Amino acid sequence: MYTYKPVDYFGVDDLLTDEHKIIRGSVRDWVNRSVIPIIEEAAQKHEFPMHLFKELGEIGAFGPFIPEKYGGAGMDYISYGVIMTELERGDSGVRSAASVQTSLVMYPIFEFGSEKQRNKYLPKLATGEIIGCFGLTEPNHGSDPGSMETKFTDEGDHYLLNGAKMWITNSTIADIAVVWAKDKNGIVRGLIVENGMKGFTAPETTGKWSLRASVTGELVFDNVKVPKENLLPNVKGLKGPLSCLNSARYGIAWGAIGAAMDCYNTALNYALERKQFKKPIASFQLTQKKLAEFLTEITKAQLLAWRLGELKNQGKVTPAQISLAKRNNVKMALDIARESRQILGAMGITDDFPMMRHMMNLESVITYEGTHDIHLLITGHDITGISAFE
């Protein structure tokens, strides 16, 4: 029987509004009901449970901060954060589905799209009726997206798109892809590419040990004719995709706490029940040290996320602050997943418990949306004014 007791050692709940708690409660119930019972099998089978898309739409996980006029919920960023925490307690792949749809597809269409594009796509993305993906990374350009090779030319009544994207969440199941490509002047622009356009294929990437309950693949463009009305008109340059990443990284800073809390909670329960040398293993100092460190790190991450949310709500957050929080909170969760698995001994390697799955998932989370080291360099740049990227 799955029992979950979230961590609130410093009364962070008191910093949330009743609305935040109601939203969190309904997503928590949904995760308990719809994700926890099926997620281990989905991860073992290396497949995303497709019916969850519609349910994620129903619980308001797609576009919570997008205005209601476009099908969103018009909520604040702390609401978005608490939703991400609950989803990632279930699985990073489920949180990924919501992150990509919300921050990487709905956000750019809302922020940089035409009114026609907003009305055409956003309401259907909000309900999960259509699925979106985001194409920035390429086979030869991951951390350095500014060097991308995917390009498009103006052919009068349409654009012609050529190139390839790699490691794209939901690529094979997406109805639309927000694709970043260079124009003839080398300026990065966003294009909405629809599934079914001639010359557009999306092969799946198989054999992942991480994020197994999430679809990953490529996007290949071979002379794809893209209607002119599919260009995102209101942004030019790398700041377009990087702004989307700010939103997704923000969500991950909150999400990772959910995975960490699930591991902590499981380890604590196990340690209180499991006996060795005639005593619960929770009575040994070495186990207590681990549990105390987990609680300390989760509490620090919660406070960081909450303050980040306040700054974002006030429109004051900087990309570098988001990088710091994403980097810290994901590493915290990965460390807790690894260490908490040890508390379970051999049992910790099975799918009776969530640690191995969270741990393997978090290896992707610490890599995507900017690697751990890239975020460190962003902080280094921010405090010294000197870029160490090149």
242 interacts with ligand TGC by CB under 6 A: yes
Among ligand FAD, ligand TGC, none, the one that 173 touches (CB under a kind-dependent 5 to 8 A) is: none
Total length of the chain: 390
Among ligand FAD, ligand TGC, none, the one that 246 touches (CB under a kind-dependent 5 to 8 A) is: ligand TGC
The bridge status of strand 132-135 relative to strand 176-182 is: parallel
Range in contact with ligand TGC (rule: CB under 6 A) among 32-40, 262-270, 353-361, 370-378: 370-378
Which of 326/341 has CB closer to ligand TGC? Answer: 326
361 interacts with ligand TGC by CB under 6 A: no
378 interacts with ligand TGC by CB under 6 A: yes
- The distance from CA 271 to its chain's CA centroid, rounded to whole angstroms, is 30
DSSP states of 263-289 = HHHHHHHHHHH-EETTEEGGGSHHHHH
Which one, of 336, 372, 361, 381, lies nearest residue 96 by Cα?
361
**Residue numbers at the binding site for ligand FAD (CB under 6 A):** 100, 133-137, 142-143, 167-169, 211, 216, 364, 367-371, 373-374, 377, 389
Which one, of 152, 31, 143, lies nearest residue 97 by Cα?
31
Which of 50/347 has CB closer to ligand FAD? Answer: 50
CB atoms within 10 A of CB 107: 23
205 interacts with ligand TGC by CB under 6 A: no
Give the torsion through C-alpha atoms of 294, 329, 61, 32, to 10 deg.
-20
At 365, list the tokens.
């989370």
Buried b (16+ CB within 10 A) or exposed e, 245-273: bbbbbbbbbbbbbbbbbbbbbbbbebbee
380 interacts with ligand TGC by CB under 6 A: no
φ, ψ (nearest 5 deg) of residue 107 = -60, -50
CB of 210 to ligand FAD, least distance (A): 6
Range in contact with ligand TGC (rule: CB under 6 A) among 143-151, 177-185, 189-197, 273-281: 143-151
131 interacts with ligand TGC by CB under 6 A: no
Of 40, 88, 218, 369, which is the active-site residue? 369
φ, ψ (nearest 5 deg) of residue 247 = -70, -45
Among 38, 173, 374, 376, binds ligand TGC (CB under 6 A): 374
43 interacts with ligand TGC by CB under 6 A: no
Which of 241/309 has CB closer to ligand FAD? Answer: 241
CB of 252 to ligand TGC, least distance (A): 7
Measured CA to CA, the distance from residue 198 to residue 181 in angstroms comes to: 18
Q: Which helix (H) or strand (E) holds 64?
A: none
348 interacts with ligand TGC by CB under 6 A: no
| Residue type for position 235 | V
Among 17, 237, 276, 388, binds ligand TGC (CB under 6 A): 237
- The distance from CA 37 to its chain's CA centroid, rounded to whole angstroms, is 21
| Residue 69: exposure state from Cβ atoms within 10 A (0-12, 13-18, ≥19) | exposed
Q: Is position 218 annotated as part of the catalytic site?
A: no
101 interacts with ligand TGC by CB under 6 A: no
Which of 143/195 has CB closer to ligand FAD? Answer: 143
Residues 147-176 interacting with ligand TGC (rule: CB under 6 A): 169
- Residue pair 172/132 in contact (Cβ under 8 Å)? The answer is no
CB of 55 to ligand TGC, least distance (A): 18
Among ligand FAD, ligand TGC, none, the one that 135 touches (CB under a kind-dependent 5 to 8 A) is: ligand FAD
195 interacts with ligand TGC by CB under 6 A: no
Q: Which residues contribute to the site for ligand TGC (CB under 6 A)?
A: 96, 99-100, 134, 136-137, 143, 145-146, 169, 237-239, 242-243, 245-246, 248, 319, 368-370, 374, 378, 389
Annotated active-site positions, please?
369
